[in-house]
Amino acid sequence: MPNIAVVVGSIRPGRVTRSVAEWVHQIAAKRPDSTYELVDLADFPLPAFDEPLPPQYGQYELPHTQAWARKVAEFDGFVFVTPEYNHGPTAALKNALDFVYGEWNNKVAGFVSLGTSGGVRAVEHLRLVAAELQMATVQAQLPLFVATDFSDYPRFSPIASREDELTRVLDQLESWATALGSIRSGAL
């Protein structure tokens, strides 16, 4: 059974990303064919990348990197919940992706994004990063718009169709996580 992380992609004080990620996790946790865990980047205080060797070597010397690598390694897939800052993802999320390498390989990513334009430009950027990390990304994504899904900002109140859209993301994510399992286990 795939183990999937719902990653809170912002560490900013007052962030709404945490409430969105909790909503995603609450829905995902009811699904019978995978396990889901909420992973908050705020719980993994990573400085700007500070390892002596590039992450591709997998020789992590610093305790914060080792803790992050162990956490990422636990999962078969990820739902990245990200706001869009200046047409891109948060620096904290990009940094967390950059800190390790092999732990992301042959895994799958799905995206829930938020912003005035639904966060879609942040996801475009993250898809490129995921490809470089040898991750598959699912086609479905869930963009959340400030005007409609946060009509009483900062309170998150998704419109009725959002749960169905999230289900599509999770369906694809679980299928890919299962399919990539044979690659991760060396069965192919």
What was the pLDDT predicted at 132? 98
Give yes or no for residue 187 having a pLDDT over 80: no
**What is the rounded (10 degree) CA torsion for 115, 121, 126, 129?**
-150
CA distance linking residue 23 with residue 114, whole number of Å: 13
- For residue 159, the enclosing domain spans 3-184
What was the pLDDT predicted at 20? 98
Give yes or no for residue 133 having a pLDDT over 90: yes
CATH number at residue 52: 3.40.50.360
Q: How many domains does the chain have?
A: 1
Task: Return all residues near 8 (Cβ < 8 A) that are at least 6 apart.
Answer: 15, 17, 18, 21, 38, 39, 40, 41, 42, 81
Average pLDDT (132-152) is 97
Number of other CB atoms surrounding residue 178 within 10 Å: 16
Give yes or no for residue 100 having a pLDDT over 80: yes
Average pLDDT (174-184) is 96
What was the pLDDT predicted at 186? 84
pLDDT digit string, tens, across residues 13-67: 999 999 999 999 999 999 999 999 999 999 999 999 999 999 999 999 999 999 9
SS3 78: strand
Average pLDDT (127-153) is 97
CA distance linking residue 107 with residue 74, whole number of Å: 11
Give yes or no for residue 12 having a pLDDT over 70: yes
Q: What is the mean pLDDT of the chain?
A: 97
pLDDT digit string, tens, across residues 66-91: 999 999 999 999 999 999 999 999 99
> Residues of the chain with pLDDT > 90: what percent?
98
Give yes or no for residue 146 having a pLDDT over 90: yes
